[in-house]
Structure 1
Amino acid sequence: MATYGVAEAKNNFTHLLERVEAGERITITRHGKPVAELARPTVPAKLAGDERLAFMKEFARRRDARPPLGMSAAELVRDMRDEGY
């Protein structure tokens, strides 16, 4: 796995994306400590037929397993706005 400092990664971003597209993982560091990792997405960009259905079922299963938030989306947005997020 290749490692780049923030400034170097910024200056070579397009090149790094090409390497990631080819399957490589890139670690970005700040002051020698890892802060981010560039990698290809784990979910294919396009799913067809049975793969798409299986993905959507798994997504719904995980969504339904989470506890309810206890407020509506509008209330959540209002709270975030009022608290300055």
Structure 2
Amino acid sequence: MKTASISATKNQLSALIERVRQGETIFITDHGRPVARLIPAGVENGQPGADELALLERKGLLRRGHGKACRLAPPPAPAKRASAVQALLEERESAR
């Protein structure tokens, strides 16, 4: 998320618009206080965070879930009379 003052926005509007085309949101500030936000056209109602998610999705860094719970395989059952301490000691010995 980038911020730019009003004067910087006037001087660098083309560069800021290019960054918005890439999916970035630009906050315009007046004396350090946010007064406006430049967001890409078509962003979901301008919701905070929605454009960042869309950008990550376009870059291939994020894949949105399908809404269903993930089913994991049950953990393996320990052998009868297994000792966690003994297993740890054996693992340490084998790593040497």
TM-score, length-scaled by structure 1: 0.48
Relative to its length, the structure with more helix (as a share) is 1
